[in-house]
């Protein structure tokens, strides 16, 4: 096994983390919890929680915002899919996916099952999950020809975290990571882009596979090596562990839709505000973007999954409503005739220049064709929240409250926020665990 990875995984402590890294961990955790609360309102979350309660019997882990006790793998599955149900969680450009979505609920489940209630250890393990998951994602994209969902490499990160929680030795840690890579869902990302359904980014399934892999390795099951960790061609990705903190490279999502759809949405919002427009001023919206954004081709969604994996629909929502939030990608919003008019008439083209910039940059420019014949152009626009231009903690907290309070209530949401933003200053995690696992 990669000695650097093993030592980093098992020997890093809270006091080894730079202050900036701790701050990012708290920020992403708060954001994930808010998205999870918002995700609980979806049919996807209801179905997967019921499924886990029926088919993942066991004890030790109460499901996120549900309260029912299931196996750790079942709790990780339900939690990962619930966060993934609302496409508003942080991500990383080069992984083309999302680390925290699977890592957080898996860590929550295993911490309960193994009665690990040390707050500093929880925050440290969360950071390690981001570091390992980000590198595993980049490694998979470098070595595989197909584009796999986040679940494929989340499984690796979760198995590594499981090895730390279970205090596995070097040999069993290696087996856990190998089992997870082999059994992780190599699900086809572009299939769910072209045909959006509840399978989404595979994060919950990857979380379940990773948790299971750790427990299998504890029992003596073998599965090494993990090629995304041990192949020579990816050695550089693992050599800078503990020096290059990739948790600081994650982006913040201002809107609950695919990151690829957010540049044109942002461009429309900018034009709308700058020129004092309403949707009634606009005849048509023309978008020039990169291939993957154009591939989000649904214009007339029937489900929230189709709305979240669309470029036209949320851009039209932004022009009509001046924002795009969880309620705007709910089925109740789909019949709005003004949104339908703009989405159906939208012209979307791709640019070779923007294609070449992807995935390091996701760019779009928008032209609003107005009723009076004028054309207003945004120029090249990227989404809010990229690590090069991070949003403030105040913006993260505002989004958290907007997602969490309608589901959790103001008092509970504030209590969670207070505890998360001070996580590590107190020793015990018990109170926060209770807040996160009590039913809504």
- What's residue 1's pLDDT? 62
**Residues 73-126: tens digit of each pLDDT:** 999 999 999 999 999 999 999 999 999 999 999 999 999 999 999 999 999 999
The 3-class secondary structure across 15-31, one letter per residue, is HHCCHHHHHHHHHHHHH
Q: Within 13 A of 203's CA, how many CA atoms are on the CB side?
A: 29
* 436-to-247, 283, 439 alpha-carbon distances in Å: 23, 46, 8
What is the pLDDT at residue 332?
82
Higher-pLDDT residue of 426, 429: 429
- pTM score of the predicted model: 0.96
pLDDT of residue 4: 86
Tens of pLDDT along 257-271? Answer: 999 999 999 999 999
pLDDT band at 2 (very low <50, low <70, confident <90, very high): low
- Stretch (H or E) spanning 377: strand 375-377
Could you tell me the domains of the chain?
A: 3-254+397-437 (1.10.4100.10), 259-377 (3.30.1330.120)
Query: What value, to the nearest 5°, has the Cα angle with vertex 201 and ends 363 and 432?
Result: 105
Average pLDDT over residues 295-317: 96
Neighbours of 213 (CB within 10 A): 31
What is the pLDDT at residue 220?
98
pLDDT at 333: 82
| pLDDT tier at 427, thresholds 50, 70, 90 | confident
Beta bridge partners of 118: 428
Percent residues over pLDDT 70 in the chain:
100
């Amino acid at each position: 096994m990669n000695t650097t990875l093993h030592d980093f995984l098992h020997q890093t402590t809270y006091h080894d983390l730079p202050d900036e890294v701790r701050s990012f961990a708290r920020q992403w955790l708060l954001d994930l919890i808010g998205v999870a609360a918002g995700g609980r309102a979806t049919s996807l979350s209801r179905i997967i929680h019921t499924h886990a309660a029926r088919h993942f019997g066991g004890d030790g882990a109460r499901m996120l915002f549900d309260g029912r006790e299931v196996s750790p793998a079942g709790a990780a599955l339900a939690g990962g899919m619930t966060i993934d149900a609302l496409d508003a969680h942080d991500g990383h450009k080069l992984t083309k996916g999302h680390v925290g979505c699977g890592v957080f609920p898996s860590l929550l489940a295993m911490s309960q099952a193994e009665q690990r209630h040390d707050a500093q250890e929880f925050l440290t393990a969360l950071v390690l999950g981001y570091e390992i998951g980000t590198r595993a994602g980049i490694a998979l994209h470098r070595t595989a020809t197909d584009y796999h969902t986040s679940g494929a490499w989340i499984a690796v990160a979760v198995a590594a975290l499981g090895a730390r929680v279970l205090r596995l030795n070097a040999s069993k840690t290696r087996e856990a990571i190998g089992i997870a890579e082999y059994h992780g869902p190599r699900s086809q990302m572009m299939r769910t882009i072209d045909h959006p359904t509840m399978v989404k980014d595979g994060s919950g399934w990857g979380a379940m596979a990773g948790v299971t892999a750790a427990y299998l390795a504890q029992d003596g099951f073998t599965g090494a090596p993990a090629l995304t960790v041990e192949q020579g061609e990816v050695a550089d990705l693992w050599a800078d562990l503990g020096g290059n903190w990739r948790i600081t490279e994650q982006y913040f999502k201002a809107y609950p839709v695919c990151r690829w759809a957010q540049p044109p949405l942002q461009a429309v919002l900018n034009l709308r505000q700058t020129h004092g427009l309403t949707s009634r001023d606009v005849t048509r919206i023309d978008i020039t973007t990169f291939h993957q954004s154009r591939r989000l081709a649904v214009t007339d969604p029937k489900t929230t999954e189709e709305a979240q994996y669309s470029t036209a629909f949320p851009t039209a929502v932004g022009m009509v409503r001046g924002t795009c939030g969880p309620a705007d990608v709910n089925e109740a919003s789909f019949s709005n005739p003004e949104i339908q008019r703009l989405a159906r008439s939208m012209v979307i083209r791709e640019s070779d220049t923007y294609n070449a910039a992807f995935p390091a940059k996701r760019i779009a420019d928008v032209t609003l064709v107005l009723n009076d014949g004028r054309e207003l152009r945004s120029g090249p626009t990227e989404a809010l929240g990229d690590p090069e231009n991070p949003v403030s903690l105040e913006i993260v907290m505002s989004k958290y409250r907007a997602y969490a309070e309608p589901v959790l209530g103001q008092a509970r949401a504030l209590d969670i926020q207070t505890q998360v933003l001070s996580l590590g200053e107190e020793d015990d995690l018990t109170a926060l665990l209770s807040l996160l696992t009590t039913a809504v």
